[in-house]
Chains A and B, each alone.
Chain A
Amino acid sequence: MNHSPSALLYLFGTFVLLVTVIGIYCVVVTQNLIRALIGLELLIKAVTLLIVAVGFITGNTGLTQAMVITLIVVEVVIMTVAVGVVIGSHRRSGSLSAKNIANLKG
């Protein structure tokens, strides 16, 4: 296996792209709100992998770790609030379908 920085970036980029495709497909195709959040999680994981890969290739792991930690904190807050919205939607409509979101007012 070639270990040049360009080849390493291509290798990591391939896997980042695959996970991104899986996440986007999940978010676009699903009608279940929890599954849409899981797709969003996968997209965030792809971004995390890309940041870590760039740090690994350039040798600047300190800065990338600081960015990943910030990303994880933001991710947790987004997921917590989004799950709260999903539970609220389920309490009102009794369903997890994304179609019910369109019926909400204001």
Chain B
Amino acid sequence: MDFIFVLLVLFVCAALWTVMASSLLLSSIGLAAASALLSVVMFKCGAQLAAVFELSVCAGLISVLFICTVSLTEAMDRKQSREYARERMSRFWPLPAVVILLSFALARLSGKFNFGTFVSFRGEDVRNLLWNVRQLDILGQIIILMVGVFGVVILFREGQKK
């Protein structure tokens, strides 16, 4: 449990760094790090299959997607970049303070809440659940994927010349 606690602290630090980083590229890398840490937490919590999905799709594919997007946009010149960084920091500096204060407040309140009793049971295997019990989910996923594919095709369709 202590290892999971350390991983969760690192996860929050990575999330904070993702938001505070001045460069979008660094933000994307921070997001990938947060995803990788979350996948380790998932693995330690017994969700191995979901952890593999999180690591390959979220830490891999989505990070590549963000980095490609950043590379497709034009970079600012040095003066613009400096002004933008200064203006951005003026809006983002309260965030670390808010996170630290909230952490201390929640740590002080620890043990004062009782969430009632939990029904603990031995669940079914994820493969059986996914393919046999929740088949509608699979159908929904396929439909959503198709919607995504057609959405991207329409968005990137070149305008027809008259």
Q: A residues bordering B, Cβ < 8 Å?
A: 1-3, 5-12, 14-15, 17-19, 21-23, 25-26, 29-30, 32, 34-35, 37-39, 41-42, 45, 48-49, 52-53, 55-66, 68-70, 72-81, 83-88, 90, 94, 96
B9 contacts which chain A residues (CB < 8 A)?
15
- A58 & B119 in contact (Cβ 8 Å cutoff): yes
A53 contacts which chain B residues (CB < 8 A)?
45
B140 contacts which chain A residues (CB < 8 A)?
70
Interface string of B97-121 (1 = CB under 8 A from A): 0110011001100110111111111
Question: Which interface class (under 10, 10 to 19, 20 to 34, 35 or more) fits B?
Answer: 35 or more
Question: Whose C-beta in chain B lies nearest to the C-beta of A2?
Answer: B111
Q: Tell me the bound Cα distance from A44 to B122 in angstroms.
A: 27
Question: Whose C-beta in chain B lies nearest to the C-beta of A91?
Answer: B72
A6 contacts which chain B residues (CB < 8 A)?
113-116, 118
- A26 & B19 in contact (Cβ 8 Å cutoff): yes
Question: Dominant SS at the A interface?
Answer: helix
Question: Dominant SS at the B interface?
Answer: helix
- A29 & B47 in contact (Cβ 8 Å cutoff): no
Number of contacts between A and B (CB, 8 Å)?
Answer: 218
- A63 & B123 in contact (Cβ 8 Å cutoff): yes
Question: Whose C-beta in chain A lies nearest to the C-beta of B84?
Answer: A32
Of A34, A49, A84, which one neighbours B152 at CB under 8 angstroms? A84
- B42 & A41 in contact (Cβ 8 Å cutoff): no
Of A22, A61, A77, which one neighbours B45 at CB under 8 angstroms? A61
Give, as a whole number of angstroms, the nearest-CB distance from B24 to chain A.
Answer: 6
Known: A55-B46, A62-B126, A70-B137. A76 touches B61 (CB 8 A): yes
- B95 & A66 in contact (Cβ 8 Å cutoff): no
- B16 & A22 in contact (Cβ 8 Å cutoff): yes
A79 contacts which chain B residues (CB < 8 A)?
62, 65
Give, as a whole number of angstroms, the nearest-CB distance from A91 to chain B.
Answer: 9
